[in-house]
C-alpha cells in the first residue's frame, strides 16, 4: 500500500509527531511504501534512514501559504499516487479533504488532541481514528458518526524513534518520583507539587524530578520553590532522551487533567516504573483499567499524595506495582498500532474498490 501521512512538522515537540513518525517507520518495516508530508524537522533524518520519503507541505495558517500548500499537495498526490492519505492534525485534514475528494482517495484522520475545539474538523475523514476509546466517545458526542470511528490505542514499544536511546539508568536516590511532560495546565503539575509537599512532610527522604519544558516552566518552578519541599524538587528542564530517567526512577506520576492517550505512559511502563496517574480520558486504557498502575482522581492532591505515600512507605507494595506495570505490556507495541491502523485503511478503501468493481461490471455487461 502507498501511504501518505500529513502532519504540521517533524520536530521533537509534540506527541502527535512522535506517534506519526513511529507509525510511518513501522509501516515501511512491514513492506509498505510511505511518505510524510510536513513542514519538516529533526525526524526527517530518521525517516530517511527507515526508507520513508519526505515532501514539504507547509502547514502555516496564513491564507496565501495554505493556498500554496493545497496546490503543492495536489501536485504531489498526482505524481506519487497514494492509496490513502492519513492526516494527523486539523490543518492536515483541511488541506487533504478537497484533494482526496478530487482524486478519489480515502482520507483517514487520527484525533491526537481531542481537547482542542478544532478537533471536530477531524471528522472530515472518511474514517476517523481515536487514540483511545475515550477520544472516540468524545468525537461521537461532537457529531462524528459511529460508523466512521475506530479506536487504535497508542503504543510506542519497539519504535524506530528509540534507536540508540540510553539504557543506563540515571542515578536517582530512592524513593524517587518522576514526572515527564510539557509544562502546560492540562498536565496537572501544580496538583503534583501540592501533593508532593504533603508527601515530603511524611516521607522527607522522597525526591521529585520534573523533566520537560513548556510555557509555564518558570511559574511551576516558583511554585515549587515556595513550598516546604523545595529542596527535594529538581527541575531538569528539556531532556532529549528521558528514558534513563525512567529507568532510574521508582515511581512515575502523570497527574493530567486532560490527556487523550499519553505516549509517555507506555515508555514509563516499559522502563518498569510503578505508575500513579489520573483517571482521565485514555489514561485508564493505557494502565489496563488500573491493573498496571494506580489511578487517582484528577486535580485531587490529597488522593495523589496518599497514593504516592502508599508506595514510598511500603517497599513491598512498590515492588508489586513495578511488577504490575508489565501486565499485558505487549499490547503497547508499535507493531500492534500499525496493524490495526492498516485495517482502518482497508475499511476506508473498501467503498472505492466496490464502486470500481461495480463500474467495471456495468461496462462488461
For 13-64, what is each residue's pLDDT tens digit? 889 999 999 999 999 999 999 999 999 999 999 999 999 999 999 999 899 9
**Domain 2-155+333-364, CATH:** 3.40.50.2000
What pLDDT is recorded for position 13? 80
Instruction: Give me the pLDDT at residue 353, please.
Output: 57
Contacts 24+ apart (CB under 8 A), 109-113: 110/16, 110/19, 110/20, 110/86, 110/152, 111/135, 111/139, 111/260, 112/15, 112/16, 112/19, 112/88, 112/260, 113/16, 113/89, 113/260
Q: Give the contacts of 216 (CB within 8 A, at least 6 positions apart).
A: 183, 184, 185, 189
3-state helix, strand, coil split of the chain in percent (to 5) is: 50, 15, 35
pLDDT digits (tens, 9 = 90+) for 210-250: 999 999 999 999 999 999 999 999 999 999 999 999 999 99
Question: What span, in angstroms and rounded, lies between the C-alpha atoms of 143 and 314?
Answer: 47
Is the Cβ–Cβ distance between 263 and 153 less than 8 Å? no
Q: How far apart are CA 121 and CA 140, in angstroms?
A: 12
Q: Are strands 127-130 and 107-111 parallel, antiparallel or unpaired?
A: parallel
The whole-angstrom separation of Cα 276 and Cα 177 is: 10
Q: Which residues contact 356 (CB under 8 A, 6 or more apart)?
A: none
Q: What CATH code is assigned to 166-329?
A: 3.40.50.2000
The whole-number pLDDT of residue 352 equals 62
Q: Structure pTM? A: 0.93
Residues of the chain with confidence (pLDDT) below 70: 352-365
Where do the structural domains in the chain lie, given as residue ranges? 2-155+333-364, 166-329
Class of residue 243 by CB neighbours under 10 A (exposed 0-12, middle 13-18, buried 19+): buried
**What does DSSP say about strands 53-56 and 149-151: parallel, antiparallel, or unpaired?**
unpaired
Torsion on CA atoms 127, 282, 338, 150, rounded to nearest 10: -20
166-329 has the same fold as 2-155+333-364 = yes
Question: What's the Cα-to-Cα distance from 141 to each of 94, 123, 138, 146, rounded to whole Å?
Answer: 21, 12, 5, 10
In order of 156, 206, 289, 311, the CA distances from 298 in angstroms are: 24, 22, 15, 19
Amino acid at each position: 500500500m502507498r501511504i501518505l501521512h500529513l502532519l504540521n512538522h517533524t520536530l521533537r515537540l509534540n506527541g502527535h509527531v512522535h506517534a506519526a513518525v513511529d507509525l510511518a517507520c513501522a509501516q515501511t518495516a512491514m513492506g509498505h511504501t510511505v511518505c510524510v508530508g510536513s513542514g519538516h524537522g529533526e525526524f526527517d533524518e530518521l525517516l530517511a534512514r527507515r526508507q520513508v520519503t519526505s515532501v514539504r507541505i507547509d502547514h502555516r495558517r496564513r491564507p496565501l501559504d495554505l493556498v500554496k500548500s493545497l496546490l503543492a499537495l495536489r501536485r504531489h498526490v498526482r505524481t506519487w499516487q497514494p492509496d490513502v492519505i492519513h492526516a494527523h492534525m486539523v490543518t492536515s485534514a483541511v488541506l487533504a479533504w478537497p484533494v482526496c475528494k478530487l482524486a478519489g482517495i480515502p482520507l483517514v484522520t487520527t484525533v491526537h488532541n481531542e481537547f482542542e475545539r478544532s478537533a471536530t474538523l477531524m471528522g472530515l475523514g472518511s474514517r476517523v481514528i481515536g487514540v483511545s476509546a475515550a477520544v472516540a466517545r468524545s468525537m461521537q458526542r461532537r457529531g462524528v458518526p459511529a460508523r466512521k470511528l475506530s479506536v487504535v490505542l497508542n503504543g510506542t514499544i519497539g519504535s524506530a524513534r528509540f534507536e540508540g536511546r540510553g539504557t543506563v539508568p540515571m542515578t536517582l536516590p530512592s524513593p524517587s518520583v518522576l514526572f515527564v511532560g510539557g509544562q502546560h495546565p492540562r498536565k496537572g503539575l501544580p496538583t503534583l507539587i501540592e501533593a508532593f509537599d504533603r508527601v515530603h512532610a511524611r516521607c522527607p527522604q522522597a525526591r521529585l524530578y520534573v523533566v520537560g519544558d513548556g510555557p509555564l516552566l518558570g511559574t511551576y518552578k516558583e511554585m515549587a520553590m515556595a513550598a516546604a519541599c523545595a529542596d527535594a524538587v529538581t527541575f531538569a528542564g528539556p531532556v532529549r532522551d528521558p528514558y534513563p530517567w525512567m529507568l532510574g526512577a521508582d515511581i512515575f506520576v502523570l497527574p493530567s487533567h486532560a490527556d487523550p492517550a499519553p505516549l509517555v505512559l507506555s515508555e514509563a511502563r516499559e522502563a518498569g516504573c510503578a505508575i500513579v496517574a489520573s483517571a482521565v480520558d485514555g489514561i485508564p486504557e493505557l494502565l489496563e483499567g488500573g491493573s498496571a498502575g494506580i489511578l487517582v482522581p484528577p486535580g485531587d492532591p490529597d488522593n495523589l499524595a496518599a497514593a504516592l505515600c502508599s508506595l514510598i512507605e511500603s517497599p513491598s507494595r512498590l515492588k508489586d506495582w513495578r511488577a504490575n506495570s508489565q501486565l499485558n505490556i505487549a499490547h503497547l507495541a508499535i507493531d500492534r498500532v500499525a496493524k490495526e491502523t492498516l485495517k482502518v485503511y482497508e475499511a476506508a478503501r473498501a467503498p472505492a474498490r466496490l464502486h470500481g468493481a461495480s463500474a467495471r461490471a456495468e461496462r462488461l455487461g
